[in-house]
Structure 1
Amino acid sequence: MSDQQSTLRHPWELVAHREISTKLRDKTFIGSTVFMLVLVLAAVIIPALISGNGGPDKIAVLNDAGAKIVQQADAINGDFESVRVADRTSAEEAVTGGDVKAALIPADNGYVVLGDDRVDSDIQNSLREAVVNIGMEQNAAGAGLTPEELRANTGLHEELLNPGPLPEIVAEFVNIGLALAFYMTALGFGMMIAQSVVQEKESRVVEILAAAVPIRALLWGKVIGNTVLALAQILVIAGASLIGLMVTDQADILGVIAPVAGWFVVFFVLGFVALAGLWAVAGSLATRQEDLGSTTLPGQMILMIPFFFSVFAGSSAKTVASFIPIASSMAMPGRMLTEDVLLWQPLVAIAVLLVATVLIVRLGASLYERTLLQTGRRLGYREALALKTS
């Protein structure tokens, strides 16, 4: 014990060390971390494996010309394979029987694509482009031109005036993922903080701790210890995501996500510290585990409302939310993925969040000192504010 005290000079360090060591031995904490790792890896790897192992889309054709078109469509976009059938009737049977996704049938003015109840848009577009390309090559040869000469001055290129850092679907997916990571981590660790405070009150351990360590040191130890654990858990999950992206050949996404991830860490730490103080207060207001349902409700609302707001609100509303403390921890990193955000905006949001975090932690410390040693009944927030500091 003396060696540990010489290494940990401040009381809050001893409490933080105790929080971290206790959690690392907690089977529930280890199990939840492993579950989140498996969930993240599954979310990244399984869709890629499914799409990669589905095999090529089979297209029924009647002759070599049709097979050439399917081969050209495969080179243009996607994974297609031609299946030779005898006639249109056989092609229709293959389509309705599910043996092929579609059939390519020669017609008077080109080709007809047969589908069952519908034709997949990717298949239709790829076959159409292949038919046009092969037709142009044949027409060019008949006119004594090369395909390049025939296509001269016909290029069409896309130019975006306000390009996003990522494709829209990918950006929205990552946006939800970042907001969900903050929400789940803050909620999970928050409930653990509140529960640990109540357990210490129920077992009277808190009275022993308060006699040896200043109450504010107890609070700071819990906040810092759990912040370190939460950040470590986020980094481990990020590492699992990195492995998943590398395994599924999606590493190009990292070049865009990595800079935003750094901002996310800053927003995460500030937002988590502010909330951790409130969760500790929620535990100090309770006298038994059953009381946590009501004392933690404000903290759950503070998390839940900004989460749904940052995910489902419109662009203007998200912009406003990205400057509001706590909500900014979820909204601003997502905006930086989906919009061209100027540098001053995240800097201002961090400054506002930092000021709010200091004020919230100071208020939480004051309430924690007033309520930690109050036993016998559950206290309300208004009643806690009216108590005098002991």
Structure 2
Amino acid sequence: MKTLDKPWVLIAEREITTKLRDKTFIGSTVVMLLIVMAAVIIPALIAGKGGPDKIAVIDDAGVKVVQQASTTTGDGYEVTRVADRPAAEKAVTDGKVEAALLPDADGYVVLGKDRVDSGVEGALREAAAAVGMETNAGKAGLSPAELHAGTKVSLQLLKPGPLPDIVSDFVNIGLALVFYMTALGFGMMIAQSVVQEKESRVVEILAAAVPIRSLLWGKVLGNTVLALTQIVVIAGASLIGLLATDQADILEVVAPVAGWFVVFFVLGFVAPAGLWAVAGSLATRQEDLGSTTLPGQMILMIPFFFSVFAGSSAKTVASFVPIASSMSMPGRMLTEDVPVWQPLVAIALLLAATVLIVRMGARLYERTLLQTGRRLGYREALALEAK
């Protein structure tokens, strides 16, 4: 049979059209959309259902301002009395209060941890101005400047950061989860596709017309395109969710990291994709995939749980480890001030690992794809002679 021109492109097109008609693929995409939308919307709902915001104050004047803000806005701010500024800072840092209103040389200062809700800040500004004007108006012969004296409110953040803590946690977990579920889902589909072709003997027909390595490259390319398309759809849903919940300011932080995430995603996806194809070529029936795909599952599962639950120092190390870096580095870039050389080094290491893993996977795929009759192990596959 005559070899086709650019056979890997034809195989990629076949993979794409087949998956677009697959109910499993469509269902997994819907599940991913629901998970990501929940990760976007839940933090906003939590922030909106925590009861009245607590404002720390250290004197009666502060109490009066907070009470005025509560009356004016109807938001029901709760006054928390503390002894002094250090106590107020501790209350803010520990998350016991939303903010602190403290006397300043020119009025008041609002203390926040990583951010202060714009509604809270605006309400305190207006209340401080109203209370100050009421007090000053009781004095006779004051100029307009004197009438507004002591009503200026400035903003200070004790621990400024790119995102609020709760949002950072959800986004960090969300990025790792998107990569993990996408790589795992498509990986299993690649393995299942190879086994189906072996069981139906279709692979023998394809191998007669197409070089075996082209079969592998086509599967990897087609599924990479599908995975990226799925990510774009999920990103669009996330954008809609952020806009719908009035969290558009988060986009200013997330957008610069999006490009890095795409690079880490592609390299991190391609690296194990060839091994998933090998897992399918080692099997002779669907039931064999439980054992042949176990290494691929571990390659993804261990870094995922590590990137989500490990401490700060461990995450820093993981962000340079190939494949694990696809889950850890983008999250670090959202929550920390990461020097640009670090993601570049992580990408270089990931690229080198991807080349090595894909080359090894290609050799194993060539040796095992046409092996039938029984399931092969990885050690046995390595020992096989190249055809």
- TM class by shorter-chain length? 0.7 to 0.9
- How big is each residue's C-alpha offset from its partner over 1:16-66, in whole Å with a ceiling of 9 and x where there is no partner? 1100000001112112212322333344346646866x79969xxxxxxx9
1:348 matched residue in structure 2: 345
* DSSP-derived class of the 1:149 partner: coil
1:34 matched residue in structure 2: 30
Shift of 1:343: 1.0
Aligned partners of 2:154 and 2:227: how far apart in 1? Answer: 52
2:21 matched residue in structure 1: 25
Any residues of structure 2 matched to 1:205-244 within 5 Å, and which? Answer: 205-244=202-241
Q: Quickly say closer, same or farther: Cα 1:362–1:156, change in 2 above 3 A.
A: closer
1:257 matched residue in structure 2: 254
Q: Which amino acid aligns with 2:318?
A: A
Q: Quickly say closer, same or farther: Cα 1:258–1:378, change in 2 above 3 A.
A: same
Q: Taking every aligned residue pair, what percent have the same amino acid on both sides?
A: 73
Aligned partners of 2:47 and 2:345: how far apart in 1? Answer: 42
2:325 matched residue in structure 1: 328
Aligned partners of 2:269 and 2:183: how far apart in 1? Answer: 6
> 1:56–1:80: 8 Å Cα contact kept in structure 2?
no
Shift of 1:228: 0.4
Q: Quickly say closer, same or farther: Cα 1:158–1:217, change in 2 above 3 A.
A: same
Shift of 1:238: 0.4
Q: Which amino acid aligns with 1:165?
A: P
Aligned partners of 1:50 and 1:156: how far apart in 2? Answer: 24
> 2:276–2:293: 8 Å Cα contact kept in structure 1?
yes
Aligned partners of 2:341 and 2:36: how far apart in 1? Answer: 32
Shift of 1:157: 2.7
Aligned partners of 2:290 and 2:216: how far apart in 1? Answer: 21
Structure 1 spans left out of the alignment, 5+ residues? 59-65, 82-100, 105-119
1:90 matched residue in structure 2: none
Shift of 1:67: 11
Shift of 1:71: 4.9
Q: Which amino acid aligns with 2:156?
A: H
Aligned partners of 1:134 and 1:225: how far apart in 2? Answer: 64
Q: Relative to structure 2, which stretch is displaced further, 136-145 or 290-299?
A: 136-145
Any residues of structure 2 matched to 1:1-390 within 5 Å, and which? Answer: 9-45=5-41, 48=44, 70-73=67-70, 80=75, 121=97, 148-150=148-150, 157-158=156-157, 163-390=160-387
1:86 matched residue in structure 2: none
Shift of 1:320: 1.2
- How big is each residue's C-alpha offset from its partner over 1:234-282, in whole Å with a ceiling of 9 and x where there is no partner? 1100011111111222111111101101000000001100111110011
Q: Quickly say closer, same or farther: Cα 1:17–1:131, change in 2 above 3 A.
A: closer
> 1:70–1:80: 8 Å Cα contact kept in structure 2?
no
* DSSP-derived class of the 1:157 partner: strand
Aligned partners of 1:122 and 1:329: how far apart in 2? Answer: 34
> 2:32–2:178: 8 Å Cα contact kept in structure 1?
no
> 2:197–2:203: 8 Å Cα contact kept in structure 1?
yes
Structure 2 spans left out of the alignment, 5+ residues? 54-62, 81-95, 102-119
Aligned partners of 2:336 and 2:228: how far apart in 1? Answer: 26
Aligned partners of 1:309 and 1:55: how far apart in 2? Answer: 30
Aligned partners of 1:335 and 1:102: how far apart in 2? Answer: 35
Q: Which amino acid aligns with 1:220?
A: W
Aligned partners of 2:69 and 2:232: how far apart in 1? Answer: 45
RMSD: 3.5
Aligned partners of 1:270 and 1:159: how far apart in 2? Answer: 38
Aligned partners of 2:216 and 2:269: how far apart in 1? Answer: 14
Aligned partners of 2:41 and 2:158: how far apart in 1? Answer: 32
Q: Which amino acid aligns with 2:256?
A: P
Q: Which amino acid aligns with 1:149?
A: A
Shift of 1:143: 6.9
Shift of 1:102: 8.2
TM superposition score normalised by structure 1: 0.76
Aligned partners of 1:56 and 1:386: how far apart in 2? Answer: 65
Q: Quickly say closer, same or farther: Cα 1:248–1:287, change in 2 above 3 A.
A: same
Q: Quickly say closer, same or farther: Cα 1:49–1:335, change in 2 above 3 A.
A: closer
> 2:284–2:373: 8 Å Cα contact kept in structure 1?
yes
Q: Quickly say closer, same or farther: Cα 1:359–1:46, change in 2 above 3 A.
A: closer
Q: Quickly say closer, same or farther: Cα 1:150–1:231, change in 2 above 3 A.
A: closer
TM superposition score normalised by structure 2: 0.76
